A and B are shown apart, each in its own frame.
Chain A
Amino acid sequence: MSENKQAKPGMSRRKFLTYTIASTAGFLGSGMLFPMVRFAIDPLLQKGSDTKFVDIGTVSEFGSKPKAVEFRIQRKDGWYQEKGGEKATAWVLKEGSEILALSPICKHLGCTVKWEGGGRTNVFYCPCHGGEYTKDGVNVPGTPPPKPLDVYATKIEGGRLLLGAVKERG
């Protein structure tokens, strides 16, 4: 090592070495950790998987009274895929030619709503905290839910009704 040249203006040798060490440590740390952290946060950066449309029956089955339909959606959870698909439910109704498929998940705390449940008439009722929604899925003011129920994308092909991805409404 060359002798320390004293009284150099600016940074002392020791300070310089300390900064060099800090940057070396930074390089070592980030070199090791960058791939690992990116690996760990990968789920945050994944786009949601595309939901395929599922056939749930003929259009004529549905009327203006909401009807609960059970169906199965194919979704892959990492390396795991449930045989036959995951269970899902929708409240489906038809007003004129308009079809509405509502998700039964209450927007308050995620319980399941029921049409005319708990003795209420003409509303969807959530048993957990008494949340109510009108027939078109809009939350009744003065009950806990802050938002209308989510809706499924719908499609009619050859007289059959198909449900797609769940979308949130404003």
Chain B
Amino acid sequence: MAHHHDNDKEINYVGDSRVIEKKEKMVPKDYSEFPGKTEAFFPNFLLKEWMVAVVVLVGFMALVMTEEPPIGEQADPTNTGFLPVPDWYFLFLYELLKFKWASGPFVVIGTAIVPMLAFGALFLVPWLDTGKERRPMKRPITTGIMFLALIGTVALTWVAWDEHEKQLASLPKGEAEAKIVDQRDPAYDIYKNNACVNCHGQNLEGLQGPPLRGVGDYYKPKEIMKIMDEGKGNMPAGMFQGTALEKKQLADWLSKQKTGRKITEEQ
């Protein structure tokens, strides 16, 4: 400052601070001073923006007041009948891992390669699409890729959600911690020698399919036979391959699988 002392523009400070003393008061500019197609942030623009915020807040609070936030039972690591589901915005990734080419030995594709390519590309978009054109219709490749990615994501999310709903529908009814009733019954061998065991487990504990312990609380033999014939939820029709007599025996035995507890509403 000392080198460039300008007598016309003498700078005064407040005390020995670095704050410059003002000679004229700051008078707010009138918005009409802004020429052309712009407006002042305050108050014009901010007011409109906050009006939008008011609408959103009212809608949001209406949602909050009508929908109770869910809270399940306290976490129980030994619970085998529970269907895990991530929050909805991770579902697409979750579904991706169910594809054959993205699971098992290829799980790397699902967990690392595909997401890395997709998100890496998203990060680097400004350097992948370097043209000057900004209108989406004038850059069909970029827009097209984005649309495909969007459709893929939405479709994966939807499939995952749908599948989860179906699984929920075919869920327990029976309770995993219930005991197997009448283990010596020959029907148990019929069960083990059929495809049932692959999904419902050696001990009726449930694997991909729901556990069958306690299933008698919910179904009568006839209803069980109907499920064997027609399937339910994710279970395909005609899974039981034995004779009609065996089917009857098995259904009778399964209907004996009662917990003795009262039927409680599954949440």
Contacts and interface: CB of A to CB of B under 8 A. Distances in A.
B57 A31 contact: yes
A14 B50 contact: no
B151 interface: no
Given A31-B57, A32-B57, A17 B30 contact: no
Contacts of A17: 43-44, 47
Contact of B54 (A1, A4, A18, A27): A27
Interface string A37-49: 0000000000000
B64 to A, nearest CB: 9
Q: How large is the interface on B (under 10, 10 to 19, 20 to 34, 35 or more residues)?
A: 10 to 19
A1 B43 contact: no
Interface string B112-133: 0000000000000000000000
A24 B50 contact: yes
B177 interface: no
A31 B61 contact: yes
Given A1-B39, A4-B32, A14-B31, A28 B47 contact: no
Contact of A14 (B30, B54, B57): B30
B46 interface: yes
Nearest to A34: B61
Interface string A13-29: 01001101100110110
A99 B50 CA distance: 67
B149 interface: no
Contacts of A1: 39, 44
B61 A28 contact: no
B51 interface: yes
Q: How large is the interface on A (under 10, 10 to 19, 20 to 34, 35 or more residues)?
A: 10 to 19
B47 A21 contact: yes
Interface string B19-32: 00000000010111
A20 B47 CA distance: 8
Contacts of A28: 50, 53-54, 57
Interface of A: 1, 4, 14, 17-18, 20-21, 24-25, 27-28, 31-32
Interface of B: 28, 30-32, 39, 42-44, 46-47, 50-51, 53-54, 57-58, 61
> Nearest 8 CB-CB pairs, A to B?
A17-B43, A24-B50, A21-B47, A21-B43, A4-B32, A31-B57, A18-B43, A17-B47
26 contacts: A1-B39, A1-B44, A4-B30, A4-B32, A14-B28, A14-B43, A17-B43, A17-B47, A20-B43, A20-B47, A21-B42, A21-B46, A21-B47, A21-B50, A24-B50, A24-B51, A24-B53, A25-B50, A27-B54, A28-B50, A28-B53, A28-B54, A28-B57, A31-B58, A31-B61, A32-B57
